[in-house]
Structure 1
Amino acid sequence: MRRLVLVCLAVALGLPASAGAATTGRLLVSLRATPSGHATAATAASAVAARAGAVPAGRIVTQVGMVTVRPRAGQTLRALAARLRRDPAVRAVDAEHRATPRLVPDDPVFSTPDPAAAGQTLAWWAVRENFPAAWDRADGDSVTVAVIDQGVEISHPDLAGKIRAAVDFDSDPGHGPATEDEAGHGTHVASLACAQPGNGIGLAGAGFDCGLLVEKSDLTNSSVVRAIVDATDRGASVISMSFGTDDRSRAPQAMIDAVSYAYDRGAVLVAAAADKRTTEQGFPANILQPTGTGPDIAAGKGLSVTAADFTDEAASFAGDGSQISIAAYGAFSRPGADGVLGAFTAGPNEIELGASGKPCNCRTTLAGDARYAFLAGTSMATPIVAGAAALVRDANPDLGPADVMQVLKRTARRPGGGGWTDGLGWGIVDAGAAVQGALRLDRRPPTSSVLAPSTTSGRSLVLRVTATDTAAPGVRVAGVRSVRVYRSRNGGAAHLVTTTTSRRLRVRVPSRGRYAFYTQAVDRAGNLEPAPQSPDARTRVATV
């Protein structure tokens, strides 16, 4: 796997320096309020930069009010950050860091064949995580998975038909477009998420027929923020991020805002935990599952994924602790073991050439095709969980991000029983159980209406109430529990008359006037029909 060798710049911004922090020499500025309209927002951001004597160094992300700047020649980041923080239009200033892909350490134990694995199929991880059972119920074709990485070689036969869009946010000179992968990491990750099944070539991705949105990034904070926002705006249901920082630096406000932006708009975010034994997973993982929240099944805005090995233990290289949400297979366990098979680039890439200092010796031939490799790491576990999330969303499109996350956690397989653990979080993902769990969750509200006579001269009238509860195909319908009936008189406020389970209801009309009737149903799963904006029926009471 690729390990980027980056020189850590000693930059003091009011935060302690970290030996593992790789900074870019730029600052992320989060504005207090983003004016509506891109042009207006850009003007406001330019004004902030001008007041501080900063040089704009990246596009503004108007959705979260972020602008990237750098100091002018002869200025220091420390002084620039201080000036920016004094500006009343600025909400936060953060040093920008560059993440590294979530990789296994460059040890030969993770790059040589394991004779003890003889007899196991190359799809052992998919079988043991119960993906075939999930594929029987959900094929993922309605879901787009965004892979934020260093590019994807979309000409690979396992990926060529799966690309729904490819966007380039990599500003590093010499790098090709989003459809090229110089590192080899993104192609492998994308294949584990959504490789084409049933084509007689290579492998089937965890998300089976899911589509891919390639977001190429240079892994700088600003690039990642732009990619998260862009993936959200393009309708990605799941966002997979197999990278992260390896230090205790505070996550930049702009990235926190981008995560919230995606979560609030329905995206399930999945990020790799650290690729070393540590309780600090770095960001974005620690944004999705902050310190201390892992044991709370309802906490977090995404899933922080660690790696399990073939023995169902936490992989020796993988992060653990209270920032861990869930695990998936990312390695074997014994010296000389392979990792997980996935697609690889046609030509040599940075991983196998040893850009980190040591060649990986990971390329392999599958059915005569040398465009595959065995790689191990939390990087590999992450797209597997992302694929499982895609199947859950495909099975039940009414589920929100919190529902999907909780289904995956509740149904995860916990070796030895019990609940959440430091090593595996809520357990090893079980795709089949997760899809079954999703099909038992009715999140679609019922609908109702009421009929009433147009006129009456009595002191009461009979209403005919109807209510229906539906769900996505295959989802178990909870059924209508009751209907709330409201009444207003002469255009006044509506008041609750009764809550009923009857289809025929007699109500009093104590005085003459014009009455309007409304209904609102609730089902046995607790889903409440949206409040009606207009009455279902109107009655004129002539005399009483």
Structure 2
Amino acid sequence: MMESFGDGPGAAAAAAVEESAESLWVATVQGSLTADRQAWFEDQGLALGRRIGKTRFVVSADRNTVETAEREADWLRIGSYGLRETVGRRLASAVEVTLSGGSLFKSADAPEGLADMPGAGGPALYDVRCTDTARLASLAAQLELDPRVDRVECGSDRLRYHVSDGDEAEAALLADMGRDGTVELVERYVPPEPMLSYARAALVGSKTPLAAPLPWLGTGETIGIADSGIDADHPDFTGRVTVVLREQPLSPRDPKGHGTHVASIAAGSGATSQGLLAGAAPAAHLFVQSIADDRLVYRFGVGLTDMLAEAYAADVRIQNYSWGAYVEGRYTLDTLDVDAFVYGHPDLLVVIAGGNDGAQDMDDPAGRNRLGSLASPAGAKNALTVGACCSPRPDGPYADKRWRDYDGRRPPERPAMADLKLTGDPDVVAALSSRGPSDDGRVKPDLVAPGVGILAAKSHDSDAPIHPWPADPNAYQYMSGTSMAAPLVAGAAAVVREYYRKERLHVPSAALLKATLINGTEWIDQATFTDDKIGKPNFHQGYGRLNLARAIPLDAGAGFTLMFDDVDNAAPGALLAGNTQRATFIRRIRLTRPGPLSVTMTWTDPPARYIQHNLDLVLIAPDGTKTVGNDGLNRLPFDRFDRANNVEQARIAEAAAGDWTISIVAQNTFRGPQGFALAVTLPG
């Protein structure tokens, strides 16, 4: 219980918590969590929750059940679910330092106190999630009576409280939360920011305008844009926009200008420029949620679930978020919201800007960017996270300039990055682009796309742009950031979705769209954006640069064939570890001639930090040689397979003609059958 409430006005609510039969615990399993052991957990009354380590799981039970279970199973240890599990190692360390001057959880990256945590300096706001959502109402009532709390806001699956006092009260309240037993997660809320610092040509990596239009325009698709609003009267959007004012902006026509530019990259028609500046999916419909308040600050209430549900109900199946909170890669509750919603709605692809917190690592001999700068919710496992590379455009405000001349935050000072071109070469990962990994070590971003000097629509109500288009400064402007890269990918996803629907007569899952786009990426093989210590994929560029011409065959002369599988969790073909009939998927393919072979598998993982389920991809050559998924990604010597990511890829630059086998094996599916998506491109 929250002991500090014992003598105060919250005593009755605290007592109710104390009498609760259920509380959270940490179960450590020796060996594998087999189907028999899962059944044993259920028989004992131990509700098995999320995985928080290789062999550690959250369970819910009363104390008597826990004590009985420990006596009966010598392969099981159950410990308390405390401060570290509730608020995370870094925040737990900050609480200990603030309250006592020392920390039980001290680590190399631990802050000295609450003032050193990401988001410190602004109002102290905390988000709280309970395993049992019914507990939220009583917890909110309890917090409203606490003198340390200024006010409480409630969302559909969590609450947010505002601390009214200083660091000690803030830390003491967090410590209380860590002892509560019913509170699953608490995190400091960091408000989101826009990731702002020739689009169709950039889709296929072309450095010149396309000679012919792409065969698919996003017709019949709806792309969601949650942003600062949109200038719906701009001719590039005529007749294709639905606007929902979630926050009342100064004008429905986007005085910030960010949302209009983002929407134009995804689906602008280019009408004002006679089609020259069309977006990636110029025939798609746009569902725009305006989330900027009267101070042009992004707000959407407590959590993302309601906003995602509203978009989904409006037939959005590709959602773009070109904003985020700078939290150094932390898996936040907003990140969890994205993963949970997609898990429950597996046909919704959420495309998220990775962030603009890129900064050069002054200690790196190669002058690479420092790692661990990913924004939230860009760490979502089930989303497609986008970093920025440079635009193929040779003109614009950055023509003939180098990255040392960049007019944004923290331009690089050392070669080689400082000497690379700002624009004109898409095989340069932008210095501004945030780097992964996520805080649990997963590969992010998933891919990169052009995001520097991107020319798109300008809101007529926005201020004079810093970089206007000289040919029509009132209608178009240049902007830069992962904000610009993400909608290019969202538009590409709309094109791919239309292709699957019309050419392959299949409505794709989000996992298949993600697999298809990642399968078509091109690796940027420059020393500044590769790292032997990480391998391939990596935390600078993910799996490489977007190239739609390698993802789907755009015409009869594409030179490759696309094969795919798309299996839902409820389908008979979903994989189930430990089941001899359902543990393995086999796909055999025949190459009639040698050439490049690319295989990418993804799955929509159960929501939680860390990968919960694990599938292993193996590609077997005609001579029996095996290539495992993400074979170039460095890992410990005893880890043959990648057990950290829900995207796995196997590529052979020059595959021999003959019969190849693709094997997918379920290594762990403790939450039930696991679907997957597979995209394969082969010569032909």
Same fold (TM over 0.5): yes
Q: Aligned-pair distance for 1:204?
A: 1.6
Query: 1:96 maps to what in 2?
Result: 189
Which one of the candidate residues 148, 166, 172 is aligned to 2:226? 148
CA separation of 1:364/1:211 partners in 2, compared to 1, >3 Å: closer, same or farther? same
Paired with 2:334 and 2:192, the residues of 1 have a C-alpha distance of: 15
Deviations 1:506-536 (A, max 9, x none): xxxxxxxxxxxxxxxxxx999xxxxxxxxxx
CA displacement at 1:233 relative to structure 2: 4.6
What secondary structure sits across from 1:244 in the alignment? strand
| Aligned-residue offset at 1:416 | 4.8
Q: Is residue 316 of structure 1 aligned with residue 431 of structure 2?
A: yes
Contact conserved, 2:143 with 2:152, CA < 8 A, in 1? Answer: no
* Matches of 1:103 and 1:18, distance apart in 2: 25
Q: For residues 88-237 of structure 1, what are the structure 2 equivalents within 5 Å? A: 88-104=181-197, 124-126=201-203, 128=205, 136-169=214-247, 175-176=249-250, 179-196=252-269, 200=274, 203-217=277-291, 218-219=297-298, 222=301, 225=304, 226-237=306-317
Partner of 2:143: 49
Within a 5 Å distance, the mapping from 1:506-517 to structure 2 comes to none
AA of the residue aligned to 1:47: A
In the TM superposition, what is the alpha-carbon distance from 1:13 to its structure 2 partner? Answer: 5.2
Which of 498, 512, 534 aligns to 1:394? It is: 498
User: How many percent of aligned residue pairs carry the same amino acid?
Assistant: 23
In structure 1, the partner of 2:106 is none
CA apart distance, 1:343: 0.9
Partner of 1:361: 466
Does residue 68 of structure 1 match 2:146?
A: no
Q: Note closer, same or farther for the CA distance 1:321–1:33 as it changes in structure 2 (3 Å cut).
A: closer
CA offsets per residue over residues 285-326 of structure 1, 9 Å max, x none?
5422xxxxxxxxxxx312221111131211232233542210
- In structure 2, the residue matched to 1:412 is 521
State yes or no: 1:32 paired with 2:153.
Answer: no
Q: Secondary structure at the match of 2:385?
A: strand
C-alpha distance in structure 1 between counterparts of 2:143 and 2:561, whole Å: 48
Aligned to 1:344: 458
1:49 maps to a residue whose letter is L
Report which stretch shifted further, 90-99 or 46-55. Answer: 46-55
Q: Check if 1:376 corresponds to 2:468.
A: no
**Counterpart-to-counterpart distance in 2, 1:69 and 1:19:** 17
From 221, 232, 239, the equivalent of 2:319 is 239
Question: Greater CA radius of gyration, 1 or 2?
Answer: 1
Q: What TM-score does the superposition give when structure 1 sets the normalisation length?
A: 0.61
- SS of the residue corresponding to residue 290 of structure 2 reads strand
CA distance in 2, matches of 1:24, 1:160: 41
2:374 corresponds in structure 1 to: 282
Q: What CA deviation, in whole Å up to 9, does each residue of 1:131-172 have, x standing for no partner?
A: 9699644332332222222222222221242223424147xx
The 3-state SS of whatever aligns with 1:256 is helix
**How many Å apart are 1:86 and its aligned residue?**
3.7
Following the alignment from structure 2 to structure 1, what is the Cα–Cα distance between the partners of residues 337 and 387? 24
Deviation string, structure 1 residues 10-65 (Cα, Å, up to 9, x no partner) = x9656735475354422211122224xxxxx87456435346564554341x2xx1
Do the aligned partners of 2:125 and 2:189 also contact (CA within 8 Å) in 1?
yes
CA distance in structure 2 between the partners assigned to 1:251 and 1:236 by the alignment: 25
| Distance change in 2, residues 1:439/1:154 (3 Å) | farther
SS at match of 2:186: strand
Query: In 1, distance between residues paired with 2:561 and 2:376?
Result: 26
Please identify, of 66-75 and 126-135, the stretch whose mean Cα deviation from structure 2 is larger: 126-135
Paired residue secondary structure (2:474): strand
Between 391-400 and 371-380, the greater mean CA deviation after superposition: 391-400
Asked whether the equivalents of residues 332 and 376 of structure 2 are also in contact (C-alpha less than 8 Å), the reply is no
Number of positions where the alignment pairs a residue of Structure 1 with one of Structure 2: 385
Kindly indicate whether the alpha-carbon contact (under 8 Å) linking 1:26 and 1:57 is maintained by their aligned counterparts in 2.
no
Aligned-partner Cα distance in 2 for 1:144–1:164:
10
Shift of residue 66 of structure 1?
A: 1.3
Change in CA separation of 1:134 and 1:55 when aligned onto 2, cut-off 3 Å: farther
Deviations 1:62-105 (A, max 9, x none): 2xx1122223578943333334444444221211111222233x
Secondary structure class of the residue paired with 2:128: strand
Q: How does 1:500-511 map to 2 (within 5 A)?
A: none
CA separation of 1:234/1:167 partners in 2, compared to 1, >3 Å: closer, same or farther?
farther
Q: Which moved more, 1:128-137 or 1:79-88?
A: 128-137
Equivalent residue number for residue 516 of structure 1: none
2:494 aligned with 1:385: no
- The Cα of 1:399 is off from its aligned counterpart by 1.9
> How far off is 1:192 after superposition?
0.4
Task: Tell me the SS of whatever aligns to 1:250.
Answer: coil
Structure 1 position 371, deviation (Å) = 2.1
Q: In the alignment, is the contact (CA less than 8 A) between 1:96 and 1:220 conserved in 2?
A: no
The DSSP-based 3-state class of the residue aligned with 2:319 is strand
Deviation at 1:127, TM superposition (A): 5.7
Range that drifts further, 307-316 or 427-436: 427-436
Alpha carbons of structure 1 residues 372 and 78: separation in structure 2 relative to 1, 3 Å: same
Question: In structure 2, how many angstroms separate the alpha carbons of the residues matched to 1:151 and 1:100?
Answer: 14
Compute the RMSD of aligned alpha carbons: 3.9
Residue number among 425, 433, 437 corresponding to 2:542 in the alignment? 425
Q: Which has the higher contact order (CA 8 A, sep 6+)?
A: 1
Q: CA deviation at 1:408?
A: 0.6
Residue matched to 1:264: 344
| Alignment-mate amino acid for residue 28 of structure 1 | D
1:188 and 1:224 map into 2 onto residues whose CA distance is 25
Which blocks of at least 5 consecutive residues in structure 2 are unaligned? 1-92, 97-109, 292-296, 360-369, 391-423, 438-443, 501-505, 527-534, 554-559, 572-660, 664-684
Q: Deviations over 1:299-357 (max 9, x none)?
A: x31222111113121123223354221011112xxxxxxx01011111343xx5xxxxx
Change (3 A) 1:86 1:286: same
Q: Pick closer, same or farther for the CA change 1:269–1:411 going to 2, 3 Å.
A: same
Could you report, residue by residue, the CA deviation over 1:267-289 in whole angstroms, capped at 9, with x for unpaired residues?
2122222322342233325422x
Change in CA separation of 1:340 and 1:365 when aligned onto 2, cut-off 3 Å = same
Give the TM-score taking structure 2 as reference length: 0.49
